[in-house]
């Protein structure tokens, strides 16, 4: 086994004495830092490389913390001003994962960079910590490499805002097979629209 394989095996055993101690110390350390800060290097190099990271110019990693828990509806005094079916305020859950929210917040702060992917690094009772891999689309090392040219195109601006990153896609219900029949054709709306709109061959 290569070195990265050993590292990934360590991360798989999160309940081992070594990892429990490491994660507890790291959570404390990350809590002392800013909400969003640049990481000098990846905490999980094996995971980062599997998600497209390379230790070369043009790649940068940001670490961010997100508060855990559900999503409270942001209404004044808990008044939704609507029908009883929509009066819930407290026990609501977010449609997207904490990881997707973390990517979006990094993308907002680092507007000139492209969000490639992200992965979990630590969590405690209050926060979850993620590392987000970003790419500089104007760096020559990225633009001249055929493998990474795709992310420099204008259509890839703010992928994280439009549900195109891996973490975002998980909450969109996309996939193949009978379990994903509700999103055939790209999205839940597209599938519904195709089945519910009448089409004619000629104008009547």
Q: What is the pLDDT of residues 84-94, one digit of tens each?
A: 999 999 999 99
pTM higher than the cut 0.85: yes
> What pLDDT does residue 98 have?
97
The pLDDT score that the predictor gives to residue 167 is 94
Q: How far is CA 76 from the centre of its chain?
A: 29
Whether the Cβ atoms of residue 171 and residue 183 lie closer than 8 Å to each other: no
* Structure-token match 């909400």, residue found: 35
Q: Is 119 exposed, middle or buried (0-12, 13-18, 19+ CB in 10 A)?
A: buried
Question: Residue 192: pLDDT band by 50, 70, 90 thresholds?
Answer: very high
Q: pLDDT tens-digit profile of 119-173? A: 999 999 999 999 999 999 999 999 999 999 999 999 999 999 999 999 999 999 8
């Amino acid at each position: 086994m290569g070195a990265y394989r050993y590292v990934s095996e360590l991360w798989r055993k999160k309940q081992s004495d070594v990892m429990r101690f490491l994660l507890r110390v790291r959570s404390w350390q990350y809590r002392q830092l800013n909400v969003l800060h640049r990481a000098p290097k990846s905490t999980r190099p094996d995971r980062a490389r599997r998600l497209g990271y390379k230790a070369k110019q043009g790649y940068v990693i940001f670490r961010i913390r997100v508060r855990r828990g559900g999503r409270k509806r942001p209404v004044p005094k808990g008044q939704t001003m609507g029908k009883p079916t929509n009066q819930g305020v407290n026990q609501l859950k977010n449609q997207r994962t904490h990881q997707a929210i973390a990517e979006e917040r990094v993308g907002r702060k680092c507007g000139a960079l492209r969000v490639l992917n992200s992965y979990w690094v630590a969590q405690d009772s209050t926060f979850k910590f993620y590392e987000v891999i970003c790419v500089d689309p104007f760096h020559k090392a990225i633009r001249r490499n055929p493998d990474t040219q795709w992310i420099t195109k204008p259509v890839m601006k703010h992928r994280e805002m439009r549900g195109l990153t891996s973490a975002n896609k998980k909450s969109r219900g996309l996939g193949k097979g009978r379990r994903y029949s509700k999103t055939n054709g790209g999205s839940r709306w597209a599938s519904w629209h195709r089945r519910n709109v009448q089409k004619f061959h000629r104008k009547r």
